């Protein structure tokens, strides 16, 4: 079952993304990119599109993995290296929302355009808008 994040979790995610962007020398985002993000996509998920892709990392379930010319400054917001996850552990503020976003892939495959997927994605988008993290 898909569970929406709280408004506070959405705001904490947005703040941590902007903290990471500052570390790598990027401008903070007034609002996050949501519409092009794909659940379960290591280079196009919500946290990858808004931070980790620019920093040269792919995102797995619990970790950011150095990929293409990684900006090591982002390590200041990441946890230690995880041999199990083969990457640097995501901070809880990012992991909480990333887990919920990636759960959309479990509702159904995005390219199948199912009602359950579309409804869950729209509800998540609405919650992020309500939190001020995504533009209406």
d(CA 133, CA 136): 9
Domain-embedded: residue 48: yes
Domain-embedded: residue 32: yes
Going across the sheet that includes 87-89, the strands are 57-59, 63-66, 87-89, 81-82
Domain-embedded: residue 135: no
Within 10 A of 37 (CB to CB), how many other CB atoms are there?
Answer: 19
pLDDT, mean over the chain? 90
For residue range 116-135, what is the model confidence (pLDDT) as tens digits? 788 889 999 999 999 999 99
pTM: 0.90
The domain tally of the chain equals: 1
Domain-embedded: residue 77: yes
pLDDT recorded at residue 65: 93
Domain boundaries, position 17: 7-130
Using DSSP, state whether 35 is helix, strand or coil: coil
pLDDT recorded at residue 104: 82
For residue range 77-114, what is the model confidence (pLDDT) as tens digits? 999 999 988 899 999 999 999 888 888 877 655 555 56
């Amino acid at each position: 079952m898909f569970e929406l994040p709280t408004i506070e979790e959405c705001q904490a995610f947005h703040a941590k993304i902007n903290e990471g962007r500052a570390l790598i020398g990027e401008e903070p985002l007034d609002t996050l990119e949501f519409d092009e993000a794909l659940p379960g996509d290591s280079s196009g998920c919500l946290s990858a599109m808004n931070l980790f892709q620019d920093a040269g990392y792919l995102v797995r379930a619990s970790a950011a993995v150095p990929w293409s010319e990684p900006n090591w400054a982002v390590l200041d917001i990441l946890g230690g290296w995880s041999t199990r996850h083969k990457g640097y552990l995501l901070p809880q503020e990012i992991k909480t929302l990333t887990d919920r976003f990636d759960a959309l892939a479990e509702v159904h495959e995005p390219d199948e355009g199912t009602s359950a997927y579309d409804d869950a994605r729209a509800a998540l988008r609405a919650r992020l808008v309500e939190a001020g993290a995504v533009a209406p």
